[in-house]
Amino acid sequence: MKSTGLVFEDIRKKLLEKDILLSDLAEGLNVTRAHVYSIAKRNNKSKPVADAICSALKMTTEEVFGDTYQDHQARGRQDRAARKQQVINAIRNNQPIPESSFT
């Protein structure tokens, strides 16, 4: 059975009951408010943001986000120097940007 967790309005309401705003979490995480909102609305994924929301609510990831992060593996930081140069070269040479090898 799939667990759906809380909807955005429930997350916001429960945080407000604790006098916590999503913007407070954004500032604490040094990310934009829009980013935190998009995670709370499940438009994007971010384990650190999801963890902060869950911590603030004193609930588990499953209780808040259902199975959204069950098999989630963070992309992680990677050396993008080669890809960045590939994009820059294509733009400067007025060529199509090649597909990324990242999957």
Predicted confidence (pLDDT) per residue in 8-63, tens digit: 999 999 999 999 999 999 999 999 999 999 999 999 999 999 999 999 999 999 99
Enumerate the H helices of the chain as residue ranges.
8-17, 22-29, 33-40, 47-57, 61-65, 81-92
Angstrom distances, CA of residue 49 to CA of 28, 31, 77, 85, 88: 10, 9, 16, 30, 31
Q: Check residue 1 and give its pLDDT.
A: 46
Q: Check residue 70 and give its pLDDT.
A: 83
Architecture of the domain whose range is 8-65: Orthogonal Bundle (1.10)
